[in-house]
Structure 1
């Protein structure tokens, strides 16, 4: 399953917003301090939360990926009395249920509400609302499979509330022996759950041994399974921040991972690993190093990259016209793009790459070529979420959509692209517009005011100034 939607409430400048992330590429545009980075940091915060063992209890606002500060720093209007909410839609459309497979979801909506725990100044879990759509289950009758877990005021227990359809589904799962997990997952909370059920008069939930079992036990088992699904989904999301490592004549070889790191700090090790694996491989099909090399030459025509181990250091060189130069001795833009391409090259189809300002230190022409690499990465099967101020990246994707209609090499549809234009409504509130594209890549209704119209405005003012002088 992959992240296909995000909901935020009382978070930074967002009062209540819902974001569709189901498209192959999501572009985030807008003025400075309009909410673009805050949106991405919410995803980063969720990733570091679900990477830790405290996912059942608290929100990991501070971690290796991002630092959102204390509760008052990220809550809307800095009002610590408010509850912070984040919700996820996970989707796995098209996959068929495998024989003897346990419960699996085609879609999962999970909303988490946190409030402030003043004793430790952090966000603690207040309630969970889940609405799963089981894979293969008949959805034509619009059944409502939902439940809610909510902490009591004293935080000593959870109240459980579920729909009749959810209860029926649990009974069905139990009868087919597909639902029960190992152990009582209430231990994950170290709490016992009180129970209320909406519209249900009785329960017939029993273990095979005949011992009675409460619906709260079942729900928490299901909840643990859902959290595992979300945790796996966030493992497939890779985040690159706007401040990437500076070029150097040598980089310390670090422990190899399949992530270049938030700042690209693992990039040299990733490059060295890819190159070594490719040189040793007898497989003639394109590998990760082949993809990296092809994508790099798309952005920087006629250029390639080589790595060399020198003692405990890794050296990176860029080759052009038979000449090799240290990455330290060429344009800064090379070092800022290499981590993006390297990360994309080692990712598998269906995974998501988030990048803040991919265009940093690139000439406009190179930004257009960067968009061609990004489109090719989409064709490879990656999902992209990009926060950018580059008109040229958008123009490059618009061109790819247009060329797709006349047999262009890179295939991109208007339905593959989602564009969010963030607006500063006031100092404390951010909203957005969704810009729609037509089949030729043009923005429906024209470009909105303030959206890359500065060049035209400056040209108009220069023309007026020239005429004013001529007529004076």
Structure 2
């Protein structure tokens, strides 16, 4: 689970400041305020980690990628190539990282990692990116166990390794320069060959890759519903960033059972999806059925409230097909997942938007095979109703305010700022931004004035 994030000199952000990330993290703001850029940055890093090119510092994406950010000049703050993109994030490990220094016989361990890096354009090779430096800090219950830094020498395409609380011992052989970096985060194999006791850096590389393999993204533009879906029997990694694998995910998860909280009964995966639809007031029943035993084609049928007829998914409201990938991804993701979503409430009426907040609370409390799923959900949204329901549930003690983190992207001044909203134990927001959801009181006052003026005119 991501605990903290800070991004500097990326797109519209000079500096986001340190962002506290909770099991439920929300980002609000006007259009083009920069709130989407935060998720895009994480997805770009995920694309880079999964890129086959180990020497590509960043992979900004291609035609089939979740995000396509263009060149460095297009993504760096103020499009100034002299700026360095810097970032820092901290995450908790599903399993503690533990290793022994064979030379000193000392054991090092930690349950969190903190990573920071600076990326810049190369002076010698224009338009090529290079890592200025990166650093890992291994933390055990907030106490640093060790720190190791990989930084570029001034005016050279060579790197040095410096460690704190850990003594690296060089092998007795001819000294050579360390020149390579694995993407934006990785120690090259030469570091292990260079030192007698540097094998642990491979564990740091792997922990980083494991973090980004746990991140799943669902964008705001989901695929439209179809009348038939083909499934070959393969379980997809996720529903896809446009929801294109949603039905395949449902079919692949039919044998899974999910509990919506401690001591709550586990239910079949498809039953959970149908139940959430009903509780949100969208449909009464939902099912996915094969066309025939001889074919790999499936149809999705739903029964709406007050109707006895089953109809195809494309024949009901558009909002149902748009929220289906949201529900499926939330319960399909494996334990320890971080789910990034943009506007999950899109095309839903206010009541359903409020109910969706309750679903997300159940997602972070859900269990499978007797264990907590430890799901983190990071949402970019415009929904006042979603937030209001979370505030209510905090006041009702259905969720702790510590489990919710809310930020407002304020672009009313330059550079833009990311302002944390302070929520107390009663669900109140202490520092509500001006016109956060529009000027509601102003609209009410002006409406009353206009109505009074019209009545006076009618009476004369």
Cα drift, residue 355 of structure 1: 0.8
- Structure 2 residue runs of 5 or longer lacking an equivalent are 102-106, 171-175, 183-191, 258-264, 367-373
CA deviation map 1:1-50 (0-9, x unaligned): x3222221111111122343441110100111111101110111111112
Indicate conservation of the 8 Å contact 1:25/1:383, yes or no.
yes
SS in 1 for 2:267: coil
Is the counterpart of residue 38 in structure 1 residue 43 in structure 2?
no
Match in the other structure for 1:325? 311
Q: C-alpha distance in 1, partners of 2:126/2:230?
A: 38
Alpha-carbon deviations, 1:360-415, whole Å to 9, x = none?
110111111111111111221421111000000001111212222xxxxxx21111
User: What CA distance in whole angstroms lies between the structure 2 residues aligned with 1:11 and 1:97?
Assistant: 31
Report if aligned partners of 2:157, 2:179 keep a CA contact under 8 Å in 1.
no
1:372 to 1:345, Cα distance in 2 relative to 1, 3 A? same
For residue 261 of structure 1, what is the aligned residue in structure 2? 240
Residue 247 (str. 1) matches residue 225 (str. 2): yes
Q: How does 1:25-424 map to 2 (within 5 A)?
A: 25-54=24-53, 57-63=56-62, 64-92=65-93, 104-117=109-122, 119=125, 121-133=127-139, 135=140, 139=143, 145-152=146-153, 156-163=157-164, 165-167=165-167, 189=181, 214-215=194-195, 218=197, 221-253=199-231, 255-275=234-254, 285-300=266-281, 303-310=284-291, 311-320=295-304, 321-380=307-366, 381-404=374-397, 411-424=398-411
Distance 1:412 1:302 in 2: 27
Distance across 2 between alignment mates of 1:99 and 1:55: 25
Q: Deviations over 1:257-299 (max 9, x none)?
A: 1300110011121122234778xxxxx9424333323323222
User: Secondary structure of 1:393's partner?
Assistant: helix
Distance 1:98 1:298, change over 3 A: farther
CA contact (8 A) 2:283 2:302 kept: no
Instruction: Tell me by how many angstroms 1:301 deviates.
Output: 5.5
State how far apart, in whole Å, the 2-side matches of 1:424 and 1:286 are: 45
Going by fraction, where is helix more abundant, 1 or 2? 1
Structure 1 residues 55, 319: CA separation in 2 closer, same or farther (over 3 Å shift)? farther
Q: Distance in 2 between matches of 1:213 and 1:274?
A: 44
d(CA) in 2 for partners of 1:153 and 1:187? 13
> What TM-score, normalized by structure 1, do the two folds share?
0.79
Instruction: Work out the CA distance in 1 between the residues paired with 2:216 and 2:268.
Output: 20
**1:256·1:266 contact (CA, 8 Å) conserved in 2?**
no
Measure, in 1, the Cα distance between the counterparts of 2:379 and 2:148. Answer: 34
Of 330-339 and 48-57, deviating more is 48-57
* Contact 1:371–1:394 (8 Å) recurs in 2: yes
Partner Cα distance (1:87, 1:317) in 2: 46
- Name the counterpart of 1:455: 440
CA contact (8 A) 1:90 1:230 kept: no
Report the number of matched residues: 415
Q: 1:99-147: CA deviations, max 9, x gaps?
A: 99985422211112111248583533221122222x48x94xxx67323
Q: CA separation in 1, counterparts of 2:237 and 2:194?
A: 42
Query: Where does the alignment leave 5 or more consecutive residues of structure 1 unmatched?
Result: 175-183, 191-211, 279-283, 405-410
- Tell me the SS of whatever aligns to 2:91: strand
Partners of 1:21 and 1:371 lie apart in 2 by 20
Q: Distance in 2 between matches of 1:223 and 1:424?
A: 40
CA deviation map 1:398-451 (0-9, x unaligned): 1212222xxxxxx2111111110110044x622121111121211125x32111
